[in-house]
Structure 1
């Protein structure tokens, strides 16, 4: 059987829980058999320690591990919560009220053109407060799951740096 290693396409099912402020585990995400998580090992953009925990496993293997904030998306950074002038969100002089709502994640770019996702925290008369922390920053994450499939990546997948076809990118 094929083991998880670089240049392999990996399909997993899992439950992701985080430890909340009361020390309780809270389920925040699942990938089920009908819609597994599929990624190109070594090129996924996932935390390095996440991939390290899966390395060497093969289809049918189960896994259970936890990642600290340092191993995953870092500590919550209060400086990543910023106020942005409300007019930045205008398109043709109008604000899309469906888009600009508290809790929505919006694609943004900084002054250097770096793309990021920001969560709308609050909307004032003049400014919008945005949080650019990763949604799982500062959290201990607990993964429990199974390896559904491992296969060789195609040359095209390696060139593009992502999975094509089922569970991947179509273009």
Structure 2
């Protein structure tokens, strides 16, 4: 059976950043594969398009330029926020809001996002809301483990999950919801990649 719309796909992959000394930054294994409904709009569009037609047992290699992955680094997504918004009961949590940590935030419109803390000063916290893989060309190498018809429940579970995927707090499910969850991808570094469109 070939990968087409509304098929449940299970696959493995190694993800490397092109030009980063070949270091593997993320992996989905046979024990913890990436499972998703093909055509549900959850995966990176180019990644998904290049999988179409592949069958169980087929291997693949996919190169994605940054514009087909998580885009260029957006300088407008690097902002300074007033330090007082991080106060809880009058105290600043310097164990969580410290340089190098990723902090879950919410926009004024209610959208969940993750911000990387770049700097903490007396009055402001400088954060980067770009995807961790923004500006990077990506290389995926893997194998298709299974292709089958998705159940009505699996297809229904993908409705409204356009921002799901690994590490995004979306509605992904390792059992075949929309995209992968933290348990369906073993990661050396948590980048929220997985080919997911988050």
**TM bracket, shorter-chain basis:** 0.7 to 0.9
Superposed displacement of residue 126, structure 1: 1.2
Bigger CA drift: 75-84 or 92-101?
A: 92-101
SS of the equivalent of 2:23 reads strand
Corresponding position of 2:114: 117
Partner of residue 65 from structure 1, selected from 57, 62, 66: 62
Corresponding position of 2:191: none
Partner of residue 153 from structure 2, selected from 129, 135, 156: 156
For 1:163 and 1:111, how far apart are their aligned partners in 2? Answer: 24
The unaligned stretches of length 5 or more in structure 2 are 159-170, 182-198
Corresponding position of 1:9: 8
Give the structure-1-normalised TM-score: 0.87
When the two structures are aligned, how many residues end up with a matched partner?
166
Is the CA contact (8 Å cut-off) linking 1:76 and 1:133 kept in structure 2? yes
Greater strand content:
1
SS of the equivalent of 2:142 reads strand
After superposition, the C-alpha distances for 1:87-109 in whole angstroms (9 at most, x for unaligned) are 11122222333321222222212
CA distance change for structure 1 residues 159 and 144 in 2, over 3 Å: closer, same or farther?
Answer: same
Superposed displacement of residue 28, structure 1: 1.0
Superposed displacement of residue 132, structure 1: 0.7
Give the structure-2-normalised TM-score: 0.76
The unaligned stretches of length 5 or more in structure 1 are none
For 1:71 and 1:25, how far apart are their aligned partners in 2? Answer: 20
Corresponding position of 1:31: 28
Bigger CA drift: 86-95 or 51-60?
A: 86-95
Is the CA contact (8 Å cut-off) linking 1:35 and 1:167 kept in structure 2? no
